[in-house]
A = this chain, B = another copy of it.
Amino acid sequence: MTDEFDLIRRHFAGLTPAGEDVLRGPGDDCAFLRPPPDRDLAVSIDTLVEDIHFPATTAPGDIGWKALACGLSDLAAAGARPGWCLLSLTCPAADEAWLAAFADGFGALARREGISLAGGDMSRGGLSITVQVAGYVERGRGLTRTGAQPGDGVFLSGWPGRAAAGLARSLASTGQPDDPLIKALDRPQPRTRLGLELAGAGVSACIDVSDGLAADLGHILTASEVGAEVEATALPIAPELAAAGSRAQVREWLLGGGDDYELCFTGPYDLDIEGLAEAGGIAVTRIGRITAGGGLQLVEAEGGRSTLADTVGYRHFSS
């Protein structure tokens, strides 16, 4: 790690919690950590690139928030308790006001979720933010995409699709600052508490909905070598989403939109979703069931069904 991080360190001083696992934070070539000896480490890295992952008009505080939310959502999907993170920031200029606002958004989420910034790097270049997160799970209890079994229920937290609808509004400049759809886009809520509950609830597979529900559930199906039937009438549609577009448009946002950072998971069909929702602080809906094969089927109220290709979600390198 290089000394350029001085700049951002200054803006981050005291902004994130001092984790007891962080022996020594920024200021050396490496940061030093002492993970709890009886836990496995869950780690993830994600890069957000301007104009790819967020519009160039996004406020710096929202960029800071989202860059961390993205990693925290991976930890939630693994059932991990947030530990520490590293930040590598590439930006065109050392704009102190921009950095202060970025740090403000990043720090607000870090404090809420209890994750320490242990170090980082700073470079000149087009705006892009890489955050590496690490969290802790009980030994051998981390959640993965593998393990969904035929007969399992398929579950979903919250009301996905709102971030995609918010993006459409944001790009069309028709949204208001307090628009819940734009808020869902700019300040996504990683489902940390729910993820921690899932790790002990007998859940068989889990993923965060960052590429869109159909694509991400598709990843579970591929990894677990199973299929799924999703009931269209069971899909949770937020009132503000229902009011934001045509029925077809709403469905596209809900099935294909990413960036909501909700969790999609599988487990016993009669899982106590009310208990999970209460402990996890977010609604949980059973939207379907795992089948032995047949890909991802969407079943309509009248019994008609369609197969959802797993390419509905956003893919960086699809042709």
**Ranked 5 nearest A-B pairs via Cβ:** A30-B78, A37-B37, A49-B125, A94-B317, A29-B77
- B41 and A35 contact, CB distance less than 8 A: yes
- B43 and A30 contact, CB distance less than 8 A: yes
- A45 and B1 contact, CB distance less than 8 A: yes
Is the C-beta of A19 less than 8 angstroms from some C-beta in chain B?
Answer: no
- B119 and A43 contact, CB distance less than 8 A: yes
- B40 and A75 contact, CB distance less than 8 A: no
We find that the number of chain A residues with CB closer than 8 angstroms to chain B is 74
Q: Which residues of B contact A37 (CB under 8 A)?
A: 37-38
A27's partner among B28, B142, B211, B223 (CB-CB below 8 A) is: B223
Q: Evaluate whether A28 and B78 lie within 8 angstroms (CB atoms) in the complex, with A47-B90, A125-B49, A125-B52 already known.
A: yes
Q: How far is the CA of A206 from the CA of B29 in the complex (A)?
A: 9
Q: Evaluate whether A139 and B53 lie within 8 angstroms (CB atoms) in the complex, with A3-B219, A210-B2 already known.
A: no
Q: Evaluate whether A132 and B32 lie within 8 angstroms (CB atoms) in the complex, with A23-B40, A123-B52, A223-B27 already known.
A: no
Q: Evaluate whether A34 and B45 lie within 8 angstroms (CB atoms) in the complex, with A27-B145, A29-B78 already known.
A: no
Interface segment, one of A80-88, A283-291, A296-304: A80-88
A142's partner among B32, B73, B145 (CB-CB below 8 A) is: B32
Q: How far is the CB of A212 from chain B (nearest CB, A)?
A: 11
Q: How far is the CB of A79 from chain B (nearest CB, A)?
A: 9
Q: How far is the CA of A2 from the CA of B208 in the complex (A)?
A: 10
- Chain A residues 48 to 101 lying within 8 A of chain B, measured CB to CB, are 48-49, 52-53, 73-75, 77-78, 80, 86-88, 90, 93-94
A→B interface (CB under 8 Å): 1-4, 7, 23-24, 27-35, 37-38, 40-49, 52-53, 73-75, 77-78, 80, 86-88, 90, 93-94, 118-126, 128, 130, 132, 135, 137, 139-140, 142-146, 206-208, 210-211, 215, 219, 223, 315-317
Q: How far is the CB of A213 from chain B (nearest CB, A)?
A: 14
- B2 and A119 contact, CB distance less than 8 A: no
Q: Which residues of B contact A24 (CB under 8 A)?
A: 142, 144
Q: How far is the CB of A103 from chain B (nearest CB, A)?
A: 16
Q: How far is the CA of A47 from the CA of B130 in the complex (A)?
A: 9
Q: How far is the CA of A140 from the CA of B223 in the complex (A)?
A: 40
